Copies of this chain bind each other. A is one copy, B any other.
């Protein structure tokens, strides 16, 4: 497997007049002999390693970090540890998710998540980039993300019964902006044409460089990006789905702040990203929320009686509606003809379920009596319009991408759907909306938090770390911001299911 921190059993002859090689040179030679690698010994580790090696009577376990370009000998232990914790982190714009892994056996020791404290300075990426450009904004955002990570680290460590400074490595998977802010790098050009990152592939650094509370000499691996809108989180997704090793052509869809899509197999990979995300994550709708306690995740409306049923994630009274709930809701609107094919409310179908707001009429999903806080959960025309744009963007992204390489949807063996979006949505409803292509439902495979899963992989496997390099050189990135075809397809997709209904044979058509 060759994890990012390796334990190498060493036993050397003791110094003698016949061989009075220096202690560290003796140790290095022994490591070379048993592992084939010649580690560098960083200045800050020399005195300590030499002392420990002698105290252990020239026998024990060397701790060697894979720094990518070089192997670094950082510790010498008398005994072989059973536990070597390392932290994998999905560094999301709104949320951080992390796992503590034992590098000795690959077992998960603990999991945790936390809201990104940067949120107080801006909900989305663009706001934060602008904030970073003002005064000491970059420092503020950098410090917030480091302290969020440190807090998350303490929780992971506590759960696993270890101390934070026992954590010997960190891998970070995030979008390009989050990675820049994490590393304290200016994100200014990320959102300005031609959308250039300061760096795609940051070399490994040390935890102490970033004031992280894990072991100061822990290597910090940051997933490389392909571009401003194609971050390391998606490289993680490719690793986690195994897309780059498939014989058949497959697709990976990751909906976060953006919708990011990769198409390909072990021969080739093409990718693009577009702003299809926020509505699907529940981020745009007035009552939208992340998939969590109190979030309506399932909705059905009887097409005849128009009776509405919903289900919250934990069965508690509803507080809002998450992405999958919104997709269910809008698909049900369509099937029960509460909206027309353009996504406009037909309030006359059930006037009693509508209320007037300052933004116009809104549909009541849960009444004030049912809700958690006495406020009804409503869904207005504005929310509906945002949803229509998102679904149109999503389908246009998928068609533009497949068309670019002459692949039909029917050629796809699998569509891996990552994240909360993949876990919660009902593909059938998404097809009804014309958001996902009309394929057999078994084509769609949810793969969970693939950003985190990829981060876990690079901690455990050298092959995955090496694959990252190959991946970023292999991927062709299709820039949609300037793509004419995308704009044309986008217009055609702003109907339910589509202007060309023949693309969606399984979806009923109403006149």
Binding site for B on A (CB under 8 A): 15-17, 20-25, 40-44, 46-47, 50-51, 68-70, 183-186, 189, 193-203, 205-206, 209-210, 225, 227-228, 479, 481-482
Contacts and interface: CB of A to CB of B under 8 A. Distances in A.
Nearest to A17: B194
Contacts of A206: 43
Contact of A22 (B20, B42, B201): B201
Given A25-B201, A42-B205, 11 more contacts: A15-B194, A17-B194, A20-B227, A22-B196, A24-B200, A24-B202, A40-B203, A41-B203, A42-B203, A43-B183, A50-B186
Contact of A200 (B22, B68, B481): B22
Contacts of A185: 46-47, 50
A46 B202 CA distance: 8
Contacts of A228: 20
A441 to B, nearest CB: 37
Contacts of A189: 15, 23
Contact of A479 (B17, B184, B210): B17
A185 B23 CA distance: 12
Contacts of A479: 17, 20
Please state the number of chain copies in the assembly: 2
Contacts of A193: 17
A228 to B, nearest CB: 7
Q: Which of A25, A40, A41, A201 has the most CB of B within 10 A?
A: A25
A203 to B, nearest CB: 5
Contact of A196 (B21, B196, B200, B225): B21
A198 B21 contact: no
A56 to B, nearest CB: 15
Nearest to A26: B196
Contact of A20 (B50, B183, B196, B210): B196
Given A17-B193, A185-B47, A186-B47, A23 B205 contact: no
Given A44-B209, A203-B43, A198 B50 contact: yes
A486 to B, nearest CB: 14
B17 A199 contact: no
Contacts of A69: 40, 69-70
B17 A205 contact: no
Nearest to A472: B25
Contacts of A51: 186
A505 B479 CA distance: 89
Contacts of A16: 194
A210 B46 CA distance: 13
Nearest to A210: B43
